[in-house]
Chain A
Amino acid sequence: MSSRDRILGRLRAARQPFADTPPLAERRAMVPIEDTSPAGLQRRFTSEAEKLGCTVHSVESAAQGVRQILNLLGSDTAVLSWDLAHIPLPGLAAALDGAGIRRAVDDPSVRVGITGADAGLAGTGGLVLTTGEGKPRLVSLLPLVHIAVLQAGRIVPTFEAWVEGRRAAGLAFGAASTLMVVSGPSRTGDIANIPVRGVHGPGAVHVIIV
């Protein structure tokens, strides 16, 4: 008999615990959101993301978003980036090429990484990122600065609401190789409880809402 069968056998032989736990009468989201209008969600997302230590730039046009990214890149000559098809900023490719900025997917010496975002969570200020073809894991991890481009229409009230939406749309969660919520810059309190940003992941997260 294998370890697997012995473990499962022992669990099955036990009297089932918590058999009398009553079912939950009402399932709630961790953060109640009252104002679910698009403007309300964007306001809430912005304030929660800022509380986490993100910098939020709401831009009126793609061109303004592109300019913002070029500003953040400063004099850098390379950037880590998702496939630009997954970054909702038309004109970004031409602008980067025009500025002579090389795009890479895993160069650890590069300072800034640019991704899109599947969703923004208004209640907690987090960004939902999925990985897959053209959306490498390292772009939001290796650099010191992470820029996420988020479409305003993708801001949902909560993590729970995003899960509900994905289920309703019939999208399998496992369709993405990794699915994560990024809630602010990398942080630690391991040295005497002193908050420090940018331990191993990015120390700065910029969200550009288009």
Chain B
Amino acid sequence: MDQARGTPPARRQEDRKKIPHMDVDSNQFIPKARIAIGDPQLQAALAVSTTNSISARAESLFAFGREHGEHMRQQAAEAKRRALRHLPDLLEQAEARMQANGMHVLWAEDASEANRLVLDLIDRHEARRIVKSKSTLTEEIGLNTALESHGLDVLETDLGAYIVQIAGEHPSHIVGPALHMSKDTIRDLFVRELAMPPTDDAEQMTQFVRERLRRAFLEADLGICGGNFIIAETGSLCLSTNEGNGRMVTTLPRVLVAIVGIEKVVETVEDFTTLAQMLSRSNNGQVMTVYTQMIHGPRRPNETDGPEEIYVILVDNGRSAIYATAYAEALACIRCGACLSACPVYRTAGGHAYGSIYSGPIGAVITPLLAGLENATPLPYASSLCGMCKDVCPVRIDLPRMLLDLRHDLVEQGHSPALWSMGLRSWAAASGASRLFTLARRGARWGLRLAPRRLPGPLDGWTRYRNLPPPASRSFYELWRDRQEGRDHE
């Protein structure tokens, strides 16, 4: 990590109201993206994973015709927006129903409170062996780091999250944490760190991990998971998983702690059926994830397995603040990852460049909102506004609109790049004065003809990977004027 540039400014006392809800390293987006672009292995991995996902998504979502697929997007979008509209009421209903189902419900205003609640539960239950299934929210709140600083080891059990944990890295994708690593890299890592007998076979590598983690599951006394949805009417904690580690974590340890964002509540079981299927189809084309679970409380009398206690921690961490803004729509996200796979910027820069667990277009919106705009100034610009993200979003979030609004906020708050602001000011001054504008336009045409193929100084960014276009012989303005005067030469 480059410490010299973009280190977040020291937090001041008077800034307490604006404490960021997430630690990020997003102001390094451009240098990190540059490194990613120069990494052929990463480029190959990104090309394969994003292309596979996005084509499988389209095939699966539109298997019954485009009209049907679009209707289902509308249906999913309506379900999430209706849930958000009634969010406070649904949260209270969900709490009451989950309690009636025998689960404990706790609330955390921010990351530190959520982490402290988990630590308290670990203490209270004298838990020592902790297993975890993948949860993006726990990455957001830095749970593993908080637990490790108290001398507790947390074992990630999703294969991708486990790989990333062993490598000492961060996930590069919300669904596929190790998508940036090649098979050879993972093999070498397993051989080096886990003394795996060398093999090039992904299946044998997976079996090796299965056996290692199986022991950990059987010995664990506390499990930590996230939650894809909470159903208010039934008090169901819902998890969509593929590998089975999510079921292990929610079944074997005697205590289960689920950490769930407050925006995950939906109203009815019917809404859940729509959203759960849209989630898997939009991610990688699966009709449903292998295990779609609705958990209704701990082990009951006469049951032989299941956790004895279930705690659900409902985490705000900045969400209620977003709720009150024009960015509330971002809370509709179901974390399918389709906008990542579809985004030309993500497909080139990869997840790590964003410096946040939330990458891609949704990450470029959520990260500044949670971490503070000043801590993620490049992200709203990490988009060509091509609109693919909006087109593939299963809940029709208008990501380009929010990226534009964030750019507006950046300028308002004085975070726009100096050269860019100066350019825009000159443009505003010149275009307001007709003769000056005409002169400047003529000057620009000659200037461009004479300009070197690469621009100097800070303008170099434009020409490093492409040539400056030659200017048109006649400007649009001139063509239009001629046309109006009936002297069109064309």
How far in angstroms is the closest Cβ of chain B from A45? Answer: 12
Q: Mark B220-257, 1 if CB is under 8 A from A, else 0.
A: 00000000000100111000001111011001100000
Q: Which of A145-198 contact B (CB under 8 A)?
A: 159-160, 163, 167, 172-194, 196, 198
- Are A200 and B157 in contact (CB-based, < 8 A)? yes
Q: Mark A2-19, 1 if CB is under 8 A from B, else 0.
A: 111011101111111111
Which of the residues A29, A126, A177 comes within 8 Å of B306, measured between beta carbons? Answer: A177
How far in angstroms is the closest Cβ of chain B from A10? Answer: 4
A116 at the interface (CB under 8 A from B): no
B481 at the interface (CB under 8 A from A): no
Q: Which of B26-34, B199-207, B449-457, B463-471 contacts its partner?
A: B199-207
- 4 tightest A-B contacts by CB? A201-B244, A200-B244, A14-B324, A190-B160
User: How many A-B contacts if CB must be within 8 Å?
Assistant: 255
Q: Which of B50-97 contact A (CB under 8 A)?
A: 52, 64, 68, 71-72, 74-75, 78, 81-82, 84-85, 87-88, 91-92, 97
Which residues of chain B are near A124, meaning CB under 8 Å?
A: 277, 287-288
How far, in whole Å, are A3 and B213 apart by their CA atoms in the complex? 36
Which of the residues B91, B183, B242, B316 comes within 8 Å of A191, measured between beta carbons? Answer: B183
How far, in whole Å, are A2 and B108 apart by their CA atoms in the complex? 10
- Residues on A lying within 8 angstroms of B by beta carbon are 2-4, 6-8, 10-19, 21, 23-24, 26-32, 48, 52, 105-106, 108, 123-126, 131-134, 136-138, 141, 159-160, 163, 167, 172-194, 196, 198-202
Interface centre among A8, A10, A178, A202 (most CB of B within 10 A): A178
How far, in whole Å, are A7 and B107 apart by their CA atoms in the complex? 8
- Residues on B lying within 8 angstroms of A by beta carbon are 45, 48-49, 52, 64, 68, 71-72, 74-75, 78, 81-82, 84-85, 87-88, 91-92, 97, 100-101, 107-109, 113, 157-160, 163, 176-179, 181-183, 186, 202-203, 205-207, 209-210, 213-214, 217-218, 231, 234-236, 242-245, 247-248, 251-252, 262, 269-270, 273-274, 276-278, 281, 284, 286-300, 302-306, 314, 316, 320-321, 323-324, 328-329
Which residues of chain B are near A199, meaning CB under 8 Å?
A: 159, 206, 209-210, 242-245
- Are B158 and A2 in contact (CB-based, < 8 A)? no
- Are B183 and A192 in contact (CB-based, < 8 A)? yes
Given A173-B294, A181-B292, decide whether A191 and B205 contact each other with a Cβ distance below 8 A.
Answer: yes
- Are B48 and A193 in contact (CB-based, < 8 A)? yes
Which residues of chain B are near A7, meaning CB under 8 Å?
A: 91, 107, 109, 262, 314, 316, 320
A-B contact pairs, 27 of them (CB 8 A): A10-B321, A10-B324, A11-B262, A12-B88, A17-B329, A18-B85, A24-B75, A108-B214, A123-B287, A137-B306, A141-B247, A172-B234, A173-B231, A173-B234, A174-B234, A176-B296, A178-B295, A178-B306, A182-B290, A182-B291, A183-B288, A186-B243, A186-B244, A191-B186, A192-B202, A199-B245, A200-B214
How far, in whole Å, are A112 and B248 apart by their CA atoms in the complex? 17
The interface residues of chain B, by DSSP majority, are classed as helix
| Shortest Cβ distance from B76 into A: residue | A30
Which of the residues A23, A52, A108, A163 comes within 8 Å of B270, measured between beta carbons? Answer: A163
- Are A21 and B288 in contact (CB-based, < 8 A)? no
- Are A200 and B248 in contact (CB-based, < 8 A)? yes
How far, in whole Å, are A27 and B269 apart by their CA atoms in the complex? 13
How far, in whole Å, are A28 and B277 apart by their CA atoms in the complex? 12
Which of the residues A6, A12, A192 comes within 8 Å of B182, measured between beta carbons? Answer: A192
- Are A193 and B52 in contact (CB-based, < 8 A)? yes
- Are B328 and A18 in contact (CB-based, < 8 A)? yes
- Are B202 and A32 in contact (CB-based, < 8 A)? no
| Shortest Cβ distance from A128 into B: residue | B292
Which of the residues B72, B160, B316 comes within 8 Å of A28, measured between beta carbons? Answer: B72
Given A11-B87, A178-B295, decide whether A189 and B284 contact each other with a Cβ distance below 8 A.
Answer: yes
Which of the residues A123, A178, A190, A200 comes within 8 Å of B210, measured between beta carbons? Answer: A200
